[in-house]
Amino acid sequence: MAATTRNISRETIAELRECIKLDFTVQGLGNQAAIARAVEYFLKDSLSVHHSQCIAHLHCPILVVSQAAEVMINATN
């Protein structure tokens, strides 16, 4: 299976910027909506470094325990 790339034009980036709304409220979005928004805006088209067809370096496998540690570090930083 050949690897595919996606060329992103300036117009596409401008459209993405138009979609991103930073209208903060006291109650916030909630965890699920915030995660869904991050996936939609940023992760959906990003490089999947753990895909078997991806050749990348300096990308360690993500472990749940390491992610939990990062959350704890960031929360107390």
pLDDT confidence of residue 9: 67
Name the residue ranges covered by the structural domains of the chain: 10-76
Per-residue DSSP letter, 45: T
How many Å apart are CA 54 and CA 60, to the nearest integer? 13
Among the ranges 5-19, 26-40, 51-65, which has the highest mean pLDDT value? 26-40
Picking from 13, 8, 3, 7, the residue whose alpha carbon sits closest to that of residue 48 is: 3
Whether pTM exceeds 0.75? no
Per-residue pLDDT tens over the stretch 24-41:
788 888 889 888 888 887
